[in-house]
Structure 1
Amino acid sequence: MPAQTPPSTPTSYVALGDSFTEGLNDPDPDGGFAGWADRLARLLAETRPRTDSGHYDFRYANLAVRGRLLDQIAAEQVPAAARMEPDLVSFTAGGNDILRPGSDPDEVAERFEAAAVRLRESAGTVLICTGFDTRDTPVLRHLRGKIATYNAHLRAIADRNDLAVADIWALRAVRDRQAWSEDRLHLSSEGHQRVALLAARALGLPTENPDAPWPDAPVHTPAELRRENLHWAREHLLPWVGRRLRGESSGDLVEAKRPELLPLR
């Protein structure tokens, strides 16, 4: 599928989405989260010269907030990004919708395309990401068919609207346990880095191989694996399920970490 041709040296980038783009479980030195979008912004900024003030000639905003559904992103983040008129927007949304019981990936995709079309009118390049292959993910593996259907729609949307695509479904590196943090729902720091490299390649930047082999991981005994699974279920799975049963979101009291399009140091 032909990808959209981005400006040779983007000078501004706005990231939209949920916890994936906010960067959960990839800690930054300031006590917050970095994530693949921040890492992509750094890769893009490094193609630009520095100004006299020491900043890169590059501006970046990250409006993503954990737990956000597609309609919330379309209502809150898309208009804000459109007003900024950046060279590049990354738009990842719909994953939380697909995880909900009874959701229809066909209908979610229709709403996604409507938001993407609006972004396409105001941004130089729009980058989207396909969903993860969950075949090896506890609890989420039974949603693999819905995610694959949604991904097929995303690729068609990209083709119709000339969007760039980072195909995470095909990124074998994120099927490895080392790509995931302790909660098994969000990427580790190295997992975020692999996605950032993939996204950079989708935009035409030369990078390291995002699918490079992982270093050998420690081998666990069956007893150790059982203890690890029990700990994960108690500390992460049950609270996650409980929030959904109560209709709560982890992002109810969270605001965007970088709401303004500002120079990147």
Structure 2
Amino acid sequence: MQTNAIYTSFVAVGDSFTEGMSDGLPDGSYRGWADLLAARLAERAPGFRYANLAVRGKLIGQIADEQAAPAAAMGADLVTLVGGLNDVLRPSCDVDLVCARLEEAAARLAPSCRQLVLMRSPGRRGPVLERFRPRMEQLFDFVDGLAERHGALVVDLFGAEVLGDPRLWAEDRLHLNAEGHRRVAEAVWQALGQAPAFDWRDPLPAAARAGWGARRASDARFAREHLLPWIGRRLSGRSSGDGRPPKRPELLPYA
């Protein structure tokens, strides 16, 4: 990694986190940290090209099988690889297998680019995080070793206290909101050795806790609109990304 290095192309690989959910735009599409990062990199490199192969709901095996080879073939300067969290959040998960498939993807991507970036994904504070924390920490410990083996950078979002703040998460409690994605983009920007625009780890201002009734109403709305549909997809073997093409499948100029 070089300080203030110029990157002329960027390919993002992953799931809904990299696709940009839930940083919504007025037309109903999603922006997200990868688009924000691409826009900033494009300002420094005329003719900058960007592809985003991420698809919501993808497991690490699907990312390794469907995205790694096409991304490697693009030969971009910069590649980001984030995956595995959808696997470890499922009731049954072989974390060792998840790690093996992540290694497979990294081994294919690292030789194809100038800089590979991995992440320790953020987690929203609450009971879900605590239930799955051992699996997540096992995965993220593996990511650290993976980076050493392949000369990759690791952006530690899991260790950033502010990204656990529920106010940086969407109503589905699974995806960051616009401010959360803005901070992730800045975290990657700084990890690449670029000049900081702000301190992405700064905590949010203190706020009064919502009352008991408001919290219960929020929990009920979350269960009805997000949790039950998610459980339904798991029971039926469906994914929110079934039949959905990659966000930006070709490495094309990005204005």
The superposition leaves residues 166-216 of structure 1 with CA deviations (integer Å, 9 ceiling, x where unpaired) of: 111112221111110111111000001111111111111122111123244
Matched, 1:210 2:200: yes
Matched, 1:221 2:208: no
C-alpha distance in 2, partners of 1:252/1:218? 40
Counterpart contact for 1:14–1:261, Cα < 8 Å = yes
Aligned to 1:153: 142
Matched, 1:125 2:115: yes
Aligned to 2:233: 243
SS at match of 1:61: strand
User: Once the 2 structures are TM-superposed, how far is the Cα of residue 24 of structure 1 from its aligned partner?
Assistant: 0.9
User: Once the 2 structures are TM-superposed, how far is the Cα of residue 76 of structure 1 from its aligned partner?
Assistant: 1.2
C-alpha distance in 1, partners of 2:199/2:168? 15
The superposition leaves residues 218-250 of structure 1 with CA deviations (integer Å, 9 ceiling, x where unpaired) of: 541111111111111111111111111111100
User: Once the 2 structures are TM-superposed, how far is the Cα of residue 57 of structure 1 from its aligned partner?
Assistant: 2.5
Counterpart contact for 2:20–2:181, Cα < 8 Å = yes
SS at match of 1:181: coil
Aligned to 1:66: 56
C-alpha distance in 2, partners of 1:41/1:129? 17
Aligned pair count?
A: 254
Matched letter for residue 245 of structure 1:
L
Aligned to 1:37: 34
Aligned to 1:8: 5
Gaps in structure 2 of 5+ consecutive residues: none
Matched letter for residue 40 of structure 2:
L
Counterpart contact for 1:6–1:125, Cα < 8 Å = no
C-alpha distance in 2, partners of 1:217/1:25? 23
User: Once the 2 structures are TM-superposed, how far is the Cα of residue 31 of structure 1 from its aligned partner?
Assistant: 3.1
Aligned to 1:82: 72
The superposition leaves residues 4-52 of structure 1 with CA deviations (integer Å, 9 ceiling, x where unpaired) of: 458810000000000000001111354310111111111211222xxxx
Counterpart contact for 1:91–1:116, Cα < 8 Å = yes
Matched letter for residue 242 of structure 2:
D
C-alpha distance in 2, partners of 1:216/1:30? 32
Aligned to 2:90: 100
1:136-147 equivalent positions in 2, closer than 5 A: 136-147=125-136
Identity of aligned residues (%): 45
Decide which of 15, 20, 24 is 1:23's aligned counterpart.
20
Matched letter for residue 191 of structure 2:
A
Aligned to 2:180: 191
The superposition leaves residues 85-131 of structure 1 with CA deviations (integer Å, 9 ceiling, x where unpaired) of: 00000000111111222312222112211210110111111101113
Counterpart contact for 2:4–2:193, Cα < 8 Å = no
The superposition leaves residues 131-157 of structure 1 with CA deviations (integer Å, 9 ceiling, x where unpaired) of: 3245x2343430011000110000011
Give the TM-score of the pair, scaled to structure 2: 0.94
C-alpha distance in 1, partners of 2:40/2:16? 21
Give the TM-score of the pair, scaled to structure 1: 0.91
Aligned to 2:100: 110
Counterpart contact for 1:137–1:184, Cα < 8 Å = no
Counterpart contact for 2:5–2:194, Cα < 8 Å = no
Matched letter for residue 17 of structure 1:
G
Aligned to 2:224: 234
Gaps in structure 1 of 5+ consecutive residues: 49-55
Counterpart contact for 2:8–2:47, Cα < 8 Å = yes
Higher deviation after alignment, 246-255 or 137-146: 137-146
Would the alpha carbon gap of residues 125 and 7 (structure 1) be closer, same or farther in structure 2, given more than 3 Å must change? farther
